[in-house]
Structure 1
Amino acid sequence: MDLSIAAILAQDGVTTGAVYALLALALVLVFSVTRVIFIPQGEFVSYGALTLAALQANKLPPTTLLLMALGAACFVTQALGLLRRPGRTQGMIRHVALLAGRYLIFPLAVYLVNVRLSAQPMPMLAQVALTLLIVVPMGPFIYRLAYEPIAQGSTLLLLIVAVAVHFAMVGLGLWMFGAEGSRTTPFSDATFTVGALTMAGQSVWVVLTTLALIVALYIYFDRSISGKALRATAVNRLGARLVGIGTAQAGRLAFTLAAALGALSGVLVAPLTTIYYDSGFLIGLKGFVGAIIGGLVSYPLAAAGSLLVGLLESYSSFWASAYKEVIVFTVIIPVLLWRSLASPHVEEDED
């Protein structure tokens, strides 16, 4: 391996590591706020990439139908919950109307917009915005249906539900998009030359977008009221509830941000590799390795760990391509051993 090959592999590693970093940040956010190890995080990558591919092919994305189905299920469950509560009829009617607007009218409006726009060419920015408009609301919808009713359950129960949601989303992905993969148009066809190294414009887009999102998340958590509420919920759920922070609202917001990061990761990675209905699972697992390096609590360590995973994967593909996945996932073993020996063991009931 000469210096030029090492530089090319480093570029690929940084690019893929940036995508893994976004997923690792989403996993840390969801776990710290809700105690959910969000295994389906990778499915938002696949949904985002394949939805964008459908829009670029001038087809109606099937995810619009899934969004309407999830919204209808949320409306039914929430409306039934209201009917069981005693209260004034006028307030109940107003609440049902708000639920209908959020879970029925909004998904229907997204569907109609896609019916109107998907058949005609659109600029790239409009395609990405429409993709996020379809995929991102699925995050809080899934939280409403699968996790909010058992928010106080044990971590094991939440993990089992996460596995079930993952398999359901993979099956729905196969039904919606089929077994054939898709690759989208790059954001930029430009190339940049630095010495002997040539960088693709799409790789630059990935790295710059990741850096911008990390800065935006830092400002959001440090300066905004809702961001501080999420931080408080992550530190102490009971204490946050005692000072008036709604943990259910914090959970929905965490899932919204996680879905946005996952869908945007799919949009960024789709021009670089062919994405299939189940590709997101492996990508999400590598983000999970980065999150584990950060202990599922530290955002900077999770981002650094994801960058390490990307570089390790890139160089492993050159030296031992048949074992690159084994090498990447083996990294998690010494990290878990070290954390198990260095961290005090606390029973879940004592949290």
Structure 2
Amino acid sequence: MNTTIMLFLIQDGITNGAIYALLGLALVLVFAVTRVILIPQGEFVTYGALTYASLSSGQMPGTAKLAVAMGAAAFAFDLFVARRALHPRRIARAFAVDIVLPCIVLALTLSLAGRHPPASLSITLSLAIVAMIGLFLYRLAFQPLAHTSVLVLLIASVGCHLTLQGLGLLFFGAEGQRGPAIADTALTMGPLRFTGQSLAVYAITVAFIAALWLFFGLSLYGKALRATAVNRLGARLVGIRTTLSGQIAFLLASVIGALSGILIVPITTLYYDTGFLIGLKGFIAAIIGGLVSYPLTAIAALMVGVVEAFSSFYASNFKEVIVFTLIVPVLLLRSLAAPSVEEEKD
């Protein structure tokens, strides 16, 4: 292997690692705030990618109808919870978020069916659809279980993954899809050629990480999420609504997943079940970061991407095996170094 091939592999690894970094940060965020190991993160990737590809080709994505159905179920759940004390303002707010907003997005999606909308509009609608699915998923599947053990939450997460994956097959079929590139420009630096899509991956990843840093450091909701991640009981005692923190965490995770899928789908063909494998690689980075460290997770994601690229060159048949083997020594070292502690009780 010469220097040129090595540079190509590093470039490919960094591009993939940037995507894994976004997914790893989303997994760390959700686990820190809600204690949920978000296995359906891969489905957010798939839904975002295939919804964008369907809208760009003039097709009607079934995810828009799923958002409406989940919103109606979430509204019924809110009514049941508040049945003993119905506050008109709270009910009106829930109706606007659960019913009106998904119906508006569905109407816009229906109006674009059969056309070829601009990429910016397709991206915006795709992010909105998947964001609502992520929000309603937390309210329906995880919010009622918020005070249970991590094992129960993990079982619920597996169930959500299987359900969303089956719905993905129903909505998009077994055939793969690709979407249009976000940017058509290209940049050449020596032997390396950076396409517009790869440049978009780098720019959006850096911008999103910077935005998250500013959100957690400067905004009131970001500080509330940090407080909930540090001590859920203490956050409730000072008046922070941990349910709202969980909703925001899932909302951010679904947007990150959908954005990752939109960045990937112009580069490679995605199928209804492809997101699960991509999400697992982000999970490896999150595990290396201990499910608590955002900088370490981002660095680990880049390492996972580079290892995957070199594995594809030297042993393509064992690429996935080599990548997933990275988690074994990390888990071994953490199990030996971590003291035995009981799970936190809410």
Aligned-partner Cα distance in 2 for 1:98–1:130? 22
Using the size of structure 2 for normalisation, the TM-score is: 0.98
Task: Give runs of aligned pairs for residues 98-247 of structure 1, distance below 5 A.
Answer: 98-247=93-242
Amino acid at match of 2:253: A
Instruction: Provide the aligned C-alpha RMSD in A.
Output: 1.2
The one-letter code sitting in structure 2 at the alignment partner of 1:154 is S
* Matched residue, 2:26: 26
Three-state SS of the structure 2 residue aligned to 1:38 is coil
User: Can you list the C-alpha shifts for 1:112-144, whole angstroms capped at 9, x where unaligned?
Assistant: 111112333322111111111111111110000
Alpha-carbon distance, 1:191 to partner:
2.1
Shift of 1:178: 0.5
Deviation of 1:349 after TM superposition, in Å, equals: 4.4
Amino acid at match of 2:101: F
- Separation in 1, partners of 2:276, 2:300: 18
Alignment of 1:64-79 (within 5 A): 64-79=64-79
Residue 39 of structure 1 aligns to a residue whose secondary structure is coil
Query: Is the CA contact (8 Å cut-off) linking 2:57 and 2:115 kept in structure 1?
Result: no
Query: How far, CA to CA, are the matches of 1:105 and 1:312 in structure 2?
Result: 46
Per-residue CA deviation, residues 19-75 of structure 1 (Å, 9 max, x unaligned), is: 000000000000000000000001000000000011111112111110011001111
Which range moves more in the overlay, 117-126 or 192-201? 117-126
Question: In the alignment, what sits opposite 1:10?
Answer: 10
Amino acid of the residue matched to residue 164 of structure 1? G
1:252-307 per-residue CA deviation (whole Å, 9 max, x = no partner) reads 00000000000000000001110100000000000000000100000000011110
User: How much does 1:345 deviate?
Assistant: 1.8
Displacement of 1:190 = 2.3
CA contact (8 A) 2:178 2:269 kept: yes
Q: What is the alpha-carbon distance in structure 1 between the residues aligned to residue 114 and residue 229 of structure 2?
A: 43
Q: Percent identity?
A: 54
Q: Aligned match of 2:294 in 286, 299, 311? A: 299
Q: Report what 1:58 is aligned to.
A: 58
- CA positional deviation for 1:350: 6.5
What 5-or-longer segments of structure 1 have no aligned partner? none
The aligned counterpart of 1:81 is: 81
Gaps of 5+ in 2: none
Code of the residue aligned with 2:150 in structure 1: it is T
1:317 partnered with 2:317: no
1:104 CA drift (Å): 1.2
The ranges of structure 1 where at least 4 consecutive aligned residues each deviate by more than 6 angstroms after the TM superposition are none
Question: Which residue among 249, 257, 266 is the counterpart of 1:262?
Answer: 257
Contact 2:56 2:118 in 1 (8 A): no
Shift of 1:9: 0.7
Corresponding residue SS for 1:344 = coil
User: Equivalents in 2 of 1:236, 1:325: separation in Å?
Assistant: 36
Give secondary structure in 1 for the equivalent of 2:147. Answer: coil
In 2, distance between residues paired with 1:33 and 1:350? 14
TM-score normalised by the chain length of structure 1: 0.96
Query: In 1, distance between residues paired with 2:42 and 2:223?
Result: 26
| CA distance, structure 1, for counterparts of residue 302 and residue 340 of structure 2 | 29
**Matched residues in 2 for 1:43 and 1:121: separation?**
25
